Structure 1
Amino acid sequence: MTNWKYFRLIVVTGFLFLWSPNLDNIGVIYREQEKYSQVLKSHQKALALREEFGELEGKSASLDNIGIPHKKLGENSESLEFLIQTLILNKQLGNVNQERVTLADIGKLLAKKNQPELAIIFYKQSINIAKKIRQDLQVLPLEEQKAYLDGSISQIYRTLANLLLTEERAIESHQILDFLKVQEVFEYMGGIKPENEKSSEIMMLKEEKQFIEKYTNFLAEIGKNDEQNQKIPLEKLATIHDFMNSEEITEIRSEIKNKAQSQTLIPEMLVLLQNELKEHKKENAVILYPLILEDRLELILVTPNSPPVHRKVLVARQEFEQVLFRFRVGLIDRREVNNISDSRAAQAGLKLYNWLIKPIENDLKGVNTIIYAPDGQLRYIPLTALYDGEKWLAEKFKVNNITAANIMDLTPRRNRNFRILAGALPEGNYSFSIGRRKFELESLPFAEIEVEKLASIFPETKKLLGDDFTKQFMELSMSSHSLIHFATHSAFISGSPEDSFILYGDGELASLREVENWNLKGVELVVLSACETGKGKKLGDGSEILGFGYQMQAAGAAASLATLWRVDDRGTFEFMNDFYTALKSGSDKIGAIQKAQIAMINSEYNHPYYWAPFILIGNGF
Structure 2
Amino acid sequence: MRKLKRSISLFCLALSLVVTAPLLPLPGVAQSVVQNQTSEIDRVIEEGYRLYQEGSAESLRKAIVVFEKARQLSRSINASDKQALASLFLGGIYDSLGETQKALEYYNKVVMLFRAVGDRSREAVTLNNIGLIYSTLGQQQEALRYFNQALPLFHAVGDRSGEATTLNNIGLVYSALGQKQEALKYYNQALPLLQAVENRSGEATTLNNIGSIHDALGQQQEALKYYNQALPISRAVGNLDGEAATLNNIGFLYSKLGQQQEALKYYNQALLISRAVGNRGGEAKTLSNIAFVFADQKYIELAIAICKQSVNVFESIRQNHQKLPRELRESYTKSISSTYQALANLLIKQGRLPEAQAVLELLKIKELNIYTRDNRTPSNGISFTPAEIKALDEIFRPYATAAEFARQLSECAEKNCPNLDQLKRQRDRINDEVTAILDRLRTTLKNQVIDISKLNTQQYTEAAEKIINAQPGTVLIYPVITETKTQFLLAFKAGAGDQAPITFRAIDGDNISSDTLFQTANDLRNALADPTSDLKTLQTTSQKLYTWLIKPLEPEISHPSIKHLVFVGDRATRHIPFAALYDGKEYLINKRYTLTTVLAASTTRDPSEPQPKAPNVLAVGATDFKGASPLPYVKPEILSIVQTPENKQGIFPGLSYLNEQFSFDRLRDSLKGHNILHIATHGNLDPVNIDKSYLLTSSGEQITKSEIQRLRDYGLKGVHMVILSACDTGTGGKNSDNLEIAGISHYFMEGGAKSVIASLWKVNDPATALFMQALYKHLKAGMTKAQAIRQVQQDFINGKLTTQDAPTRSIVVVAEKISDRPTSPNFAHPYYWSPFILIGNNL
Among candidates 395, 419, 424, match of residue 215 of structure 1: 395
3-state SS, counterpart of residue 569 of structure 2: coil
CA distance in 2, matches of 1:294, 1:287: 23
Checking the alignment, whether the CA contact within 8 Å between 2:477 and 2:489 is kept in structure 1 is yes
Residue number in structure 1 paired with 2:339: 156
| AA at the equivalent of 1:311 | I
CA distance in 1, matches of 2:747, 2:617: 20
* Contact 1:423 1:463 (8 Å CA) reproduced: yes
1:272 aligns with 2:454: no
Pick from 555, 560, 563: which aligns with 1:368?
Answer: 563
Aligned counterpart in structure 1 of residue 838 of structure 2, from 584, 600, 616:
616
User: How far apart in 2 are the matches of 1:590 and 1:567?
Assistant: 20
Equivalent residue number for residue 401 of structure 1: 597
Q: Distance in 1 between matches of 2:521 and 2:202?
A: 51
User: In the aligned structure 2, how far is the partner of 1:557 from the partner of 1:80?
Assistant: 50
1:556 aligns with 2:752: yes
Cα pair 2:785 2:842 within 8 Å, conserved: yes
Matching residue's letter, 1:581: K
Return the alpha-carbon distance in structure 2 between the equivalents of residues 137 and 321 of structure 1: 26
Shift of 1:93: 3.1
Distance 1:299 1:141, change over 3 A: closer
If asked which structure has higher relative contact order (CA below 8 Å, sep 6+), I would say: 1
Match of 1:357 among 540, 546, 550: 550
**Secondary structure in 1 aligned to 2:292?**
helix
Shift of 1:83: 1.1
The answer as to 2:640 corresponding to 1:453 is yes
More divergent stretch after superposition (451-460 vs 300-309): 451-460
The alignment status of 1:7 with 2:204, answered yes or no, reads no
- Displacement after TM superposition at 1:512 (Å): 6.0
Q: Helix, strand or coil: the match of 1:572?
A: helix
Equivalent of 1:594 in 780, 790, 799: 790
**Distance between the aligned counterparts of 2:516 and 2:333, measured in 1?**
28
What's the secondary structure of 1:506's corresponding residue? coil
1:101 and 1:391, CA in 2 relative to 1: closer, same or farther beyond 3 A?
A: closer
Closer/same/farther in 2, CA of residues 271 and 171 from structure 1, 3 Å limit: closer
TM superposition shift of 1:88: 1.6
1:96 is the counterpart of 2:280: yes
Alpha-carbon distance in structure 1 between the residues aligned to 2:536 and 2:449: 45
Q: 1:504 aligns with which of 674, 679, 697?
A: 697
In the alignment, is residue 86 of structure 1 matched against residue 256 of structure 2? no
Q: Offset of 1:570 from its aligned partner?
A: 1.3
Closer, same or farther: CA 326–108 of 1 in aligned 2, 3 Å: same
Partner of 1:194: 376
Q: How far does residue 105 in structure 1 lie from its aligned partner after superposition? A: 1.7
Which deviates more, 170-179 or 42-51?
42-51
| 1:290 aligned onto 2:479 | yes
2:33 corresponds in structure 1 to none
Residue 436 of structure 1 aligns with which residue?
none
User: 2:489 maps to what in 1?
Assistant: 300
Q: Percent identity?
A: 28
What is the 5 A alignment of 1:61-460? 61-72=245-256, 74-135=258-319, 137-138=321-322, 146=329, 149-167=332-350, 169-189=352-372, 191-196=373-378, 200-219=380-399, 221-222=401-402, 241-242=431-432, 245-246=435-436, 248-254=437-443, 256-257=445-446, 267-269=457-459, 271-273=461-463, 275-277=465-467, 279-280=469-470, 282-304=471-493, 305-317=501-513, 320=517, 324=521, 327-328=524-525, 331-332=528-529, 349=542, 352-364=545-557, 365=559, 366-387=561-582, 389=585, 392-414=588-610, 416=612, 417-427=614-624, 430=627, 442-456=629-643, 457=650
Measured in 2, the distance between the counterparts of 1:227 and 1:38 equals: 22
C-alpha distance 397-474 of structure 1, shift in aligned 2 (>3 A): same
Separation (CA, whole Å) in 2 of partners of 1:411 and 1:241: 54
- Report deviation, 1:564: 1.7
In the alignment, is the contact (CA less than 8 A) between 1:222 and 1:232 conserved in 2? Answer: no
Residues of 1 paired with 2:718 and 2:430: CA distance? Answer: 56
What are the ranges of 5 or more consecutive residues in structure 1 without an aligned counterpart? 432-441
User: Would the aligned equivalents of 1:559 and 1:616 in 2 still touch at CA under 8 Å?
Assistant: yes
User: Higher mean Cα deviation, 492-501 or 88-97?
Assistant: 492-501
Q: 1:33 to 1:425 in 2, by over 3 A?
A: farther
- Could you tell which deviates more after superposition, 116-125 or 266-275? 266-275
Q: Map 1:457-468 to 2 at 5 A.
A: 457=650, 461-468=654-661
Q: 1:219 to 1:410 in 2, by over 3 A?
A: farther
Displacement of 1:481: 4.8
Partners of 2:429 and 2:736 in 1: CA distance = 46
- 1:435 equivalent in structure 2: none
Query: Can you give the 5+ residue segments of structure 2 that lack an aligned partner in the other structure?
Result: 1-159, 165-189, 414-422, 494-500, 644-649, 803-826
One-letter identity of the residue aligned with 1:194 = R
The reply on whether 1:526 has 2:717 as its aligned counterpart is no
State the Cα distance separating 1:574 from its structure 2 match.
1.2
CA distance in 1, matches of 2:683, 2:735: 18
Secondary structure of the structure 1 residue equivalent to 2:439: helix
Moved more, 295-304 or 313-322: 313-322
**Aligned length, in residue pairs:** 597
Cα displacement string for residues 554-611 of structure 1 (whole angstroms, at most 9, x for unaligned residues) = 3433221111223311111111112223334554433332343344445134613332
Q: 1:186 to 1:277 in 2, by over 3 A?
A: closer
Residues 1:582 and 1:449: Cα distance change in structure 2 (over 3 Å) = same
Secondary structure, counterpart of 2:489 in structure 1: strand
Letter in 2 for 1:86: A
Q: Does the CA contact (< 8 Å) of 2:288 and 2:339 recur in 1?
A: yes
Report the Cα distance in structure 1 between the residues aligned to 2:659 and 2:433, rounded to whole angstroms. 74
Query: Equivalents in 1 of 2:353, 2:312: separation in Å?
Result: 19
Aligned partner letter, 1:444: L
For 1:498 and 1:291, locate their aligned partners in 2 and report how far apart those are by CA, in whole Å.
30
Query: Taking structure 1 as reference, are residues 319 and 83 closer, same or farther at Cα in structure 2, changes over 3 Å only?
Result: closer
TM-score (norm 2): 0.61
Q: Are the equivalent residues in 2 in contact too, given 1:205–1:256 (CA < 8 A)?
A: no
8 A contact 1:97–1:130 mirrored in 2: yes
Which whole-Å deviations, capped at 9, do the CAs of 1:520-541 have from their partners, x for residues lacking one?
4443222211245665885854
Mapped to 1, the partners of 2:192 and 2:532 lie a distance apart of: 67
1:592 maps to a residue whose letter is A
Of residues 118-127 and 449-458 in structure 1, the stretch that sits farther from structure 2 once superposed is: 449-458
Moved over 6 A (4+): 223-228, 230-234, 236-240, 258-266
- The whole-number CA distance in structure 1 between the counterparts of 2:412 and 2:776 is 71
- Say if 2:685 and 2:694, in contact at 8 Å, map to a contact too: yes
Code of the aligned partner of 2:762: R
Relative distance call for 1:468 and 1:567 in structure 2 (3 A) is: same
Task: Report which stretch shifted further, 542-551 or 558-567.
Answer: 542-551
Distance 2:740 2:204 in 1: 41
Which amino acid letter does the alignment assign opposite residue 285 of structure 1?
T
- Contact 1:81/1:237, CA 8 A, preserved across alignment: no
Cα distance in 1 for residues equivalent to 2:203 and 2:301:
41
Q: Which amino acid aligns with 1:425?
A: A
Q: Structure 1 residues 216 and 552 mapped into 2: Cα distance closer, same or farther (>3 Å)? A: farther
Q: Supply the distance in 1 between the matched residues of 2:321 and 2:732 (Cα, whole angstroms).
A: 34
Secondary structure of 1:245 counterpart: helix
Q: What is the alpha-carbon distance in structure 2 between the residues aligned to residue 270 and residue 147 of structure 1?
A: 24
